[in-house]
Amino acid sequence: MIYITLYLIKMKNYTCLILFSLCAWFSVSAQVVDVESFSAKITELPKATLLDVRTSGEFGGGHLPKAQNIDFRSATFAQEIDKLDKSQPVLIYCLSGGRSAQAAEVMRAKGFQVTELKGGYLKWTTKMKPLEGVPAVKHDAAWSLADFEKLTKENGAIVVDFYAKWCAPCLKMMPMVDKLAGEFAGKVTVLKVEADGNQSILQAYGIDEIPSFIVFHQGKVIEKTSGFREEPKLKELFVQAIGTIQ
């Protein structure tokens, strides 16, 4: 809440409005920014502490480049953050934003200047931003754009799953995609396109976020969507592909 007093002073032919703040109380709102803004801050603030508050196991599966890991759920979290430099800003994230929000609240109470990543590591990976520490994996065979387009035209109902093996939401959705592929066997063809190695297809269809799905019906794109979907929402894509109401 801000209290302002206003003074009107007559000076010759002019009326001057002078604002004088008697007292002000500012509530500092939590700063939560999207992936692009968070990425920009990492570049703009090279001395900032980039803090990953997930478990060491999660951190070991991949993390933002140069991130430091302090598990928010650990008994020593408070002691560990006290070792950080309060004079430098903190850029914080977790898997999806819940733990980092709680950790940021604790840190702000201790005098840290904290910026949170909205959507956390999940959202960062869907935007295909840089990672480090990701275990080496064998990539699936790449598609040629010509072969991909030929298949979409030759098959009546298709759901295309664009994924990456380092993308947490992609991996979470894979069992659901496989389950629905079985349920709709003979009606819907499922094509899986790994983002790594298939840039020509991603570019041709404007895919800049994963997981993403494109639904084809009789060779035409009838739906394009991105982001994590629970099974009922995912099933809607299969229903759209066959063009009937299940």
| Active site positions, annotated | 167, 170
Q: Residue 156 in contact with residue 212, Cβ under 8 Å? A: no
Residue 117, classed as helix, strand or coil, is strand
Backbone angles phi, psi at 34, to 5 degrees: -80, 180
DSSP annotation string for 57-105:
HHHHT-BSTT-EE--TTSTTHHHHHTTS-TTS-EEEE-SSSHHHHHHHH
Question: Following CA atoms 199, 205, 209, 214 in sequence, which dihedral angle do they give, to the nearest 10 degrees?
Answer: -120
For residue 69, which amino acid is it? N
Strands 14-24 and 2-11: antiparallel
Rounded distance, CA 223 to CA 1, Å?
47
